[in-house]
Structure 1
Amino acid sequence: MNIPVWFEITSLVVLVVILIADLMLIKLRPHIPSTKESSLWVGFYVALALAFAGLLYFIAGGQFAGEFLTGWALEYSLSIDNLFVFVLIMAQFAVPRRLQQMVLMVGIIIALVLRGLFIIAGVAIIENFSPVFYIFGAFLIWTAIRQAMPEGDHDGEVKRENFLIRLLRRRIDISDEYDGTKMRTVVDGKRMWTPMIMVFVAIGVTDLMFAIDSIPAIFSITQNSFLVFTANIFALMGLRQLYFLLGDLLDRLRYLHYGIAVILGFIGVKLVLHAMHVNELPFINGGQHIEWAPDIPIWLSLTVIVAAMGIATVASLIASSRDKKREPVVEPSEQGKALRDEV
């Protein structure tokens, strides 16, 4: 059973309409969303993804539904990693909080375009060069090791952004103040770019880096371009609201990078095993398929993804709570004495 063309077209049209409506809503009403509003929107997008998986099950069968659900969970997990860099970018450029929704939405659109191009290229490469799974697998295992290192945070992405920003500042005139979400403004009668152009460049570089990681990963789940693209759309759609929902909680998720490292490492091994199973390289096993190399089932991939993220999150919150309890409690009288001493 295949996914009907009418279902693919209808799904993509509906998703594009939702994205445009979301963008217009931000444009017409820029504001700082409350926790309740963010929670409702995140819940809506999660429910929408689950409903889409249910429709896939009834229209195309359980195999496609399972592949979408696992791919969505994988991309959603990896997209949360984007949020850490988004926080750094917002802080680095002092983006006013009421403008952050638009910045995030533009970032999501850039990510969708980049990932769409990567998906098209990836499908073409896989169809014509199956040993690429060896390369994808090795790359993800290397990325997992880098992610698990104590320095395995997002310093690399930030350094790339800083280099581009310095280059940008040398080439064009950039004002010191924001002018809403505009990229161009007038200062003392002179047309200039606003700092928003630097923010969008930084977001775009970040999206490119994460697309390079995430697209090879989801090809371990499915090579169906429609499922790969829709999984990415659903994963990114609620990212803006999740940013405001988590807020300061992101700083407390200290072990999340270990969970992501486990996921990337597992997916990397899965890709290598798949490459061995469909091997065509003449210098490996005489160019024959390696039959003993297993194809890891979808249900196991989904279990590992959910378990890794769940354990990393719970462990982070427990460690954060323990540190908070260890903080010395300063009595009001001691606070007053400290202030007098400072004076």
Structure 2
Amino acid sequence: MAPSPRTVTTARLRVRPLTDADHDLWVRLHTDPAQYPFAPWAVAPDAATAEGMLERALTHWAEHGFGYGVVEDRASGEALGVAGLIHGREREHLNLYYRFDRPHHGRGLGPEVARALVADAIEHGPGLPITATARPDHRASIRTAERAGLTLLGAAKPDVVFPGVPRAVAERARAADPADVPAPVVLLAPSVEVHREPFDAPTREQVLDLWCATNDAGGAVGFVPGAPRSAVSAALAAHEEQMGAGRAVAVLLRGADRSVVALAWWGGDANPLRAHRRTAYRVMTDPQRRGRNLGRLLMAAMHRVGREDGVALAELTVRGGTGVEAFYAGLGYTEVGRLPGGIRLSEDDERDEIRMARRLDGRPLS
């Protein structure tokens, strides 16, 4: 049985499942030549062709419980466009897609919805590579995918092979293109890795690099900027000892170049009365890739792993004065406690320790 359809929300938008009632919006978007300035050959030539596309999109929802949805304004309920992810034809990847009605172009809606959809796919989707394709001169579309967390790999030229991307992605991206136009480009989202044992040597070095870079950029991950690498390495060794003992799980994201770009741990409690709880700690992302949705994608991966491990209640603490509590509030976390001055960075710099929590089992926190 397909899972129940999900509605994805952002600050301004709601993405709900596509239905037969969306016929007019779908046909208008896909038969309007002005919607395809960078690929005029791709516009549906008539309503019947667009209706066939709609039927396939509806079938995907029926079979898989997710797919292309309608983007609505949360305040007014107005339909603004369509967006979502679907299986590639070979079922080896998920394809990210977005198309907004022309009156709503230039409002930043694409990045807003794409960031939420990619995170939702990582948290709830089938665990396949997430890709997008675009015309090489369609910079706005490429930037939207990049801000959602995807990395531009290059042009889908004949015989090209992109590591981590099924060959069919590049082949199908250019299949309907005229022979005399430049090849489309392919983008890829970070992949998720779960480590329940200490890291191998190469991964450990990358984790250490990321942790030190985060420290030096002012990230609240246990140290102050300029902390010696040896001190960070000792802290990492302690976490690896917890992993080896089954008390911690590391969740990391690897970029398209296979570098570790984000990392966090789930820590458990030996008390059986707290077996349903986990604490997220050392949440870090590559400072050189800020603004690329990595924090949201990492927490989506953390939540997925937590649910798979039977976690019902997720907890974390944040350092006051960083503003990061707003980020976690946007992910459904609620402040449940605050210790004024609980974190001392120096004799004259004490910060509140803020405790936050959320349920992962669908129940309300209260």
Does TM, normalized by the shorter one, top 0.5?
no
Q: For the superposition of Structure 1 and Structure 2, which TM-score range results when normalised by the shorter chain?
A: under 0.3
More strand by share: 2
Question: Please, what TM-score do these two structures have when normalized by structure 1?
Answer: 0.25
**Higher RCO (CA 8 Å, separation ≥ 6 residues):** 1
